[in-house]
Amino acid sequence: MKFIHMADMHFDVPFTVLNNRNKLGEKRRLEQRETFKKIIEYIKENNIEYLFISGDLYEHEYIRQTTIEYINSLFKEIPNTKIYITPGNHDPYINGSMYKTFNWNQNVHIFGPKIELIENLDCDIYGFGFDDFYRKDNELNNLKIKNKNKINILITHGTLNGGTAQDMEYNPLSKTKLKDIGFDYVALGHIHKLDYNNEKNQRIVYPGSTISMGFDELGEHGAILGEINKENIILKFIPLDNKEFIELEIDISDTNSNEELIEKINELKLDTNKFYKIILIGDKNFEINTYNLFKFINNENIIKIKNNTKLKINLEEISSQNNLKGLFVKEILKEINEDNYPKEILEESLNIGLNIINK
């Protein structure tokens, strides 16, 4: 059997950061639609039998009826493909959700919060989702595979082997338990990072977010194409997102003014299909206001500018001054020398404090 496994599309998410630059958020939402249409076209061209959507298909708070109608109209174009959706923490199966109120196409099955088994000729599909914005437990400890001679697949949304209190709030899952139950494939969602080839014959998979949500999701994004039988599994990552988020460092140690820095940024040769975060590094010779810099940046694909520079000053000389600045620097240097806190935090505190005092 062949399948497409995708997750975390987040239709109608606001893309607040992008909207700060010429309403790029609106364009990004159009790209969501285009990406989803690519998946449907791929399914049609390659006769894919199953589509697994492992949660967070849309944003409950922002989703529009027209968006759901668009999604469902594409589902109608692949009537011979069985579509299984498990609600996540951003699109839970709650009263008023589109999963409950909308009349989905007949080839779509939406799982509720209880573990459910759908028996097909070639495979058995198990699934369950969120019925709230949090889910702290599940019924997997009591689950037993009905027919181990068939291909058995689990579709759900959650955190695999999470170690923090926050992880425990989003359907905590144990890799060991999932393997013990005997699933041939586990189609997961929730973690936006791709995880499908980190071990031999890997069968517990995160496809990552279908398109990147921001600078905490660098690299390519798309979906997983799978072909599976009881003996073998072949997985392939299909890149779908035309845009990529990139972090680019610029050393400004030899830059002497805001005007010179603006010229340097505007002269960058950047890919129009990428969004950029410019990270300023090195020793700075002048005060930098990133908000003002944006007023003069020509390239709209530069979304953020982060100032990681350090003041080019003689700290020992300043610490000897009998004023507020001198006392502040003296105390910070004392903490650095005594190694009471991480040096990086103290240096950042020093930069922020001096910027405030110098205003």
pLDDT class for 318, splitting at 50, 70, 90? confident
Every domain range in the chain assigned CATH 3.60.21.10: 2-239
Instruction: Return the pLDDT at 25.
Output: 84
Q: What is the mean pLDDT of the chain?
A: 92
284 or 110, higher pLDDT = 110
Tens of pLDDT, residue by residue over 194-216, are: 999 888 889 999 999 999 998 88
pLDDT digits (tens, 9 = 90+) for 8-42: 999 999 887 776 666 788 889 999 999 999 999 99
Q: What's the CA gap between 253 and 285, in Å, rounded?
A: 7
3-state helix, strand, coil in the chain (%, to 5): 30, 25, 45
Question: Of all helices (H) and strands (E), which one includes residue 248?
Answer: strand 244-251
Across the range 1-5, mean pLDDT stands at: 97
What pairs with residue 247 in β-bridges?
277
Tokens of 117: 């088994």
Alpha helices in 56-162 (DSSP H): 65-75, 98-101
pLDDT at 22: 66
270-285 confidence digits (pLDDT tens): 998 899 999 999 988 7
Name the most confidently modeled range: 44-58, 187-201, 279-293.
44-58
Are the C-beta atoms of residues 265 and 278 closer than 8 Å to each other? yes
Per-residue DSSP letter, 206? B
**What is d(CA 346, CA 312) in angstroms, rounded to the nearest whole number?**
16
Quote the DSSP letter at residue 297.
-
Which region holds residue 318: left if phi is over 0, alpha if psi is between -120 and 50, else beta?
alpha
pLDDT higher than 80, residue 343: no
Residue 98, classified by CB atoms within 10 Å of its CB into exposed (0-12), middle (13-18) or buried (19+), is buried
Enter the DSSP assignment of 169.
G
Structure tokens of 350? 């020093």
Q: Which fold has domain 2-239?
A: Purple Acid Phosphatase; chain A, domain 2 (3.60.21)
